[in-house]
């Protein structure tokens, strides 16, 4: 059955791979599943046809036969459950890998998104300068804890898993801030993720859509 995902017809990041279709592409590349991409504009995302698939009018979505999914956590989990390569066979190790998907999305990503919001959407507000140290502290708290847990391991719990895929995807959003560089083991962890051939294929596929025109 054909898998179709949605992505921005033009990502606001200009192809840096930060739009969330990249993590879904990455998961599909890791498990070797071909997929098609339907590109949608910001306008089309708020139209009834897309809202029927994604109640919040966002990308990415995932369609396969009768199944329609939204939320990258659910999509990556679904891919990992149905294809070998992203979750260990051992039941406990599998549960722990799934836990890292949740941790990435519900514990690590929120303060990072808060930082993005403060910088990008609220940068011109009079209270931002006062708020920023608090926002940065919250990100550093999480990074410090994650860094301590990772230690000198390559991945969060044994072999690379969907949990690492999600955590690396979330951390990549910090690259431009320089904050990751304060935690060399996390920087190296993210670099290991980016070095995976499947990540590179996913990144290149989104770049082909979003690359700014030459000149």
Ligand X SMILES: N[C@@H](CCC(=O)N[C@@H](CS)C(=O)NCC(=O)O)C(=O)O
Contact footprint for ligand X (CB under 6 A): 19-20, 45, 57-59, 71-72
Q: How far is the CB of 145 from ligand X (least distance, A)?
A: 22
Residue closer to ligand X (CB basis): 68 or 144: 68
Residue nearest to ligand X (CB): 58
Q: How far is the CB of 15 from ligand X (least distance, A)?
A: 13
Beta-carbon contacts of 59 under 8 Å, excluding residues fewer than 6 positions away, are: 6, 7, 8, 19, 20, 21, 40, 45
Q: How far is the CB of 57 from ligand X (least distance, A)?
A: 6
Kindly compute the dihedral angle of the four CA atoms of residues 7, 156, 102, 206, in this order, to the nearest 10 degrees: 0
Residue closer to ligand X (CB basis): 173 or 196: 173
Structure-block tokens of residue 73: 């956590």
Residue closer to ligand X (CB basis): 147 or 206: 206
Residue closer to ligand X (CB basis): 183 or 193: 193
Residue closer to ligand X (CB basis): 147 or 171: 171
Q: If we measure between CA atoms, which residue out of 146, 156, 173 comes closest to residue 22?
A: 173
> What is the C-alpha to C-alpha distance for residues 30 and 196, in angstroms, rounded to an integer?
9
Q: If we measure between CA atoms, which residue out of 81, 128, 117 comes closest to residue 101?
A: 81
Q: How far is the CB of 138 from ligand X (least distance, A)?
A: 19
Q: How far is the CB of 169 from ligand X (least distance, A)?
A: 9
Residue 194, CA atoms < 13 Å, CB-side half-sphere = 15
């Amino acid at each position: 059955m054909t898998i179709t995902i949605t992505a921005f017809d033009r990502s606001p990041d200009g192809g840096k791979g930060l739009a969330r279709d990249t993590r879904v592409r990455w998961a599909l590349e890791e498990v070797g599943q071909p997929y098609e991409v339907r590109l949608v504009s910001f306008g089309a995302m708020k139209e009834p046809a897309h809202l029927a698939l994604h109640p919040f009018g966002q990308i990415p979505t995932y369609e396969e036969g009768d199944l329609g999914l939204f939320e990258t956590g659910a999509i990556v989990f679904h891919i990992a459950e149905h294809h070998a390569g992203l979750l260990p066979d051992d039941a406990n190790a599998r549960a722990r890998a799934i836990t890292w998907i949740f941790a990435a999305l519900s514990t690590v990503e929120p303060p990072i998104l808060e930082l993005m919001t403060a910088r990008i959407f609220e940068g011109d507000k009079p209270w931002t300068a006062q708020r920023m140290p608090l926002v940065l502290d919250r990100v550093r708290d999480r990074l410090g804890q994650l860094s301590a847990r990772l230690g000198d391991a390559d991945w969060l719990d044994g072999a690379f898993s969907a949990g690492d895929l999600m955590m690396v995807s979330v951390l990549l959003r910090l690259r431009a801030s320089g904050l990751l560089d304060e935690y060399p083991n996390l920087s190296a962890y993210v670099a290991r993720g980016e070095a995976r051939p499947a990540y590179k294929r996913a990144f290149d596929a989104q770049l082909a859509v979003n690359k700014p025109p030459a000149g």
